[in-house]
Chains A and B, each alone.
Chain A
Amino acid sequence: MLSIENLHIEVSGKKILDGVNLKIEKGVTSIMFGQNGSGKTSLVMAIMGFPEYKITKGKIIFKGKVINDLSIDERARLGIGILLQRPPTVRGVKMRQMIALASKASNKKFDVEKMASKLNMKEFLDRDLNLGFSGGEMKRSELLQLAAQSPDLLLLDEPESGVDLENIALIGDVINKLSGKDKSALIITHTGHILDYVNASRGCVLENKKVQCVGDPHDILNRIRKYGYKGCISCHRKEPEKIKAKN
Chain B
Amino acid sequence: MANKELWIKDFDRDTQEHPYQKNLSKISPVDKKSMIETGVDVSEKGRAGTFIQLDHSVVHAASLQKGLEVMNISDALKKYDWLKDYWWKAVAKDSDEYTILADKESRNGYFIRALPGVKAGYPIQSCLFLKKENLLQNVHNLIIAEEGSQLNIITGCTTASYVKKGAHIGISEFYIKKNATIKFTMIHNWAEEVMVRPRSKAIVEEGGMFLSNYVCLKPVNSIQMYPTATLVGEGATARFNSILYAHSGSHLDIGSRVILSKPNTKAEIIARAVTNGGTIITRGHLKGEAPSVKAHLECRGLILSPEGSILAIPELEGKGKDLEMSHEAAVGKIAKEEIEYLMTRGLSSEEAQAVIVRGFMDTAILGLPPELQKGIDDLVKSCQEEAL
Contact = CB atoms under 8 A, between A and B. Distances in A.
A93 B356 contact: yes
Query: How many A residues are at the interface, by size bracket?
Result: 20 to 34
Contact of A76 (B337, B343, B360, B362): B343
A105 B344 contact: no
A76 B341 contact: no
B345 A149 contact: yes
Interface stretch (B30-38, B304-312, B347-355): B347-355
A92 B346 contact: no
Contacts, number: 70
B344 A48 contact: yes
Contacts of A87: 341
B344 A88 contact: no
Interface string A16-59: 00000000000000000000000000000000101000000000
Given A88-B335, A90-B356, A145 B345 contact: yes
B359 A72 contact: no
A168 to B, nearest CB: 23
A192 interface: no
A217 interface: no
B342 interface: yes
A92 B359 contact: yes
Contacts of B344: 48, 72-73, 76, 81-82, 84
B359 A93 contact: yes
Contact of B340 (A72, A97, A149): A72
B2 interface: no
B346 A88 contact: no
A93 to B, nearest CB: 4
B338 A101 contact: no
Nearest to A89: B338
Given A90-B359, A91-B362, A92-B359, A76 B338 contact: no
Interface in B292-342: 335, 337-338, 340-342
A72 B347 CA distance: 9
Contact of B346 (A73, A84, A90): A73
10 contacts: A76-B343, A81-B345, A82-B344, A90-B341, A90-B342, A90-B359, A91-B362, A101-B347, A101-B351, A145-B345
Interface of A: 48, 50, 71-73, 76-77, 81-82, 84, 87-88, 90-94, 97-98, 101-102, 105-106, 128, 145, 149
Given A90-B338, A93-B359, 13 more contacts: A73-B343, A77-B346, A81-B344, A84-B344, A92-B360, A92-B364, A93-B342, A93-B358, A97-B359, A101-B342, A101-B345, A101-B347, A102-B346
Closest 3 CB pairs of A and B: A105-B346, A92-B359, A92-B362
